């Protein structure tokens, strides 16, 4: 369900933020091997549009000097806050990470201006998103600009240079409150297993 909410936010930001050239929903930390067999942990997203973005079903969101900015979201978990009558109430937490190239945006060194632009277009009351009813997005705060948001990834020196000037980033902690009617929760079944 959090995927639906995040994807709705992505569509809003994609339409309104003029400085974003790569934006995606939730990423996962995944281990990948390079040509030399070195294993790295990178933020990986599912490519919903294989024909347009690249030929791969997965793509990484590593910064590099050719990009203006990258926005992705990290899932921090969902909790049930109440189960009353015919509804289940949830709170989902996630982090919006925006990496950017100051020179290609043209705002000198003003990280707060980037944050303000993102916050300007984040929806508060999102209404109903799929089966998620009365979705309300809350901004919990901004993480310290100490590189911690990237600590789970094994960026090599060449990539870590992209979080110091003329590059920067903003990491915003968000949460969404919503409820789902029990009658609208889809029943899950096991998929037929392929040969394991």
pLDDT given at position 54: 44
**Which residues does the chain have with pLDDT short of 50?**
49-57
Instruction: Work out the number of other CB atoms within 10 angstroms of the CB of residue 111.
Output: 16
Q: Are 41 and 152 in contact (CB under 8 A)?
A: yes
Query: Quick one: how far is CA 159 from the chain centroid?
Result: 19
pLDDT at residue 46, rounded to an integer: 66
Helices 111-121 and 2-16, axial angle in degrees (round to 10) = 110
Strands (E), 47-166: 58-60, 69-84, 87-101, 125-129, 132-142
Of 70, 74, 85, 87, nearest to 27 by C-alpha is 74
pLDDT of residue 159: 55
Looking at residue 51, its pLDDT comes to 43
C-alpha distances in angstroms, 71 versus 28, 36, 38, 60, 95?
14, 29, 26, 12, 10
Sheet order of strands, 132-142 included: 58-60, 39-46, 22-33, 69-84, 87-101, 167-181, 132-142, 125-129
Where do the domains of the chain lie? 2-25+63-183
Q: Which helix (H) or strand (E) holds 23?
A: strand 22-33
pTM above 0.75, yes or no: yes
d(CA 141, CA 171) in angstroms, rounded, equals 9
Residue 72: per-residue pLDDT:
93
pLDDT score recorded for residue 186? 85
- State the architecture of 2-25+63-183 in CATH terms: 2-Layer Sandwich (3.30)
């Amino acid at each position: 369900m959090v995927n639906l909410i995040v994807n709705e936010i992505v569509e809003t930001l994609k339409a309104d933020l003029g400085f974003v050239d790569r934006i995606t929903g939730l990423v996962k930390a995944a281990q990948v091997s390079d040509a030399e067999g070195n294993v790295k942990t990178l933020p990986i997203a599912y490519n919903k549009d294989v024909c347009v973005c690249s030929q791969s079903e997965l793509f990484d969101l590593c910064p590099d000097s050719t990009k203006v900015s990258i926005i992705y979201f990290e899932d921090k978990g969902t909790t049930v806050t109440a189960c009353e009558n015919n509804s289940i109430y949830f709170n989902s937490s996630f982090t919006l990470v925006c990496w950017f190239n100051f020179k290609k945006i043209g705002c000198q060194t003003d990280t707060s201006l980037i944050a303000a632009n993102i916050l300007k277009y984040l929806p508060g009351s999102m209404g109903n998103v799929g089966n998620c009813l009365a979705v309300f997005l809350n901004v919990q705060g901004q993480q310290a600009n100490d590189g911690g948001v990237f600590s789970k990834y094994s960026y090599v020196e060449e990539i870590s240079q992209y979080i110091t000037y003329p590059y920067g980033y903003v990491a915003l902690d968000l949460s969404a409150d919503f409820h789902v009617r029990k009658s609208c929760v889809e029943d899950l079944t096991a998929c037929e297993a392929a040969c394991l």
